[in-house]
Amino acid sequence: MRVSTKALDGSGADVQEDQLRRYCAGAGHVLASVHRDEGVSGTVPFDQRTGLALAMAEVVSGATGALVVVNLDRLSRSLGGQEAALAYVWRAGRSVFTTSGEVLRDDPEDPMRTAMRQMMGVFAELERAMIVKRMRAGRAHKKAAGGFIGGTVPYGFKCMDGDLVPHPIEQQALEHMFRLRAAGWSLREIGVALADRGHLPRSGGNWHPKVIASVIRNADVSH
């Protein structure tokens, strides 16, 4: 099983495992082992995915006779990745199944077989590209509207429902930083003064001059 995130659309790892178990039982296959890649992109090569690499090793070594996935885009979201995984298993004389049945090897007498399989791979690749495009467009729209698009939350703010909102206590610390800096205090002196007022860095401990300089610079840019 492979899921990029904790899916809520019915494609989660638990759902996939249930589908695979029911398929194996109905087809008379003996399920030898179960492997998961959770939180793993479909673009990651199969030899860099712990779950799939273990499954492939079992199949190729002969410990099991076949690899079973819900559909081929669980192997990879790219056509090249799918074809590489299939070729790897087939070279070992083993088989690949989806819950729709066996993925038949290429046959020079039946070129449509290869074409149809690869067309499905192209559509899986296209679907991922469209998802990425929508995500980029959403981030761009949110950024243009002044929303938070991810990354480290600037000091003085907190993230609520995807938006940056002022953090009252940290805003007080920021005001104190700016006031003391404008008065000519050194960064080290500012750090001591902040600690005396109970304003500590998010990581705890003491204020480092470089951290204070970064906080002031980022706050100045954000405003």
- The domain ranges of the chain are 2-135, 157-222
pTM over 0.75: no
Q: Which CATH architecture has domain 2-135?
A: 3-Layer(aba) Sandwich (3.40)
- Give the Cα separation of 61 and 77 in Å (integer): 25
The per-residue pLDDT for range 102-149, each reduced to its tens digit, is 999 988 888 888 888 888 767 767 776 676 677 566 556 555 655 554
Whether the pLDDT of residue 8 is over 50: the answer is: no
Residue 221's pLDDT band (boundaries 50, 70, 90)? very low
- Give the Cα separation of 106 and 222 in Å (integer): 57
Res 131: pLDDT: 64
Res 108: pLDDT: 87
Whether the pLDDT of residue 87 is over 90: the answer is: yes
Closest CA to 105 of 86, 77, 88: 86
Whether the pLDDT of residue 74 is over 70: the answer is: yes
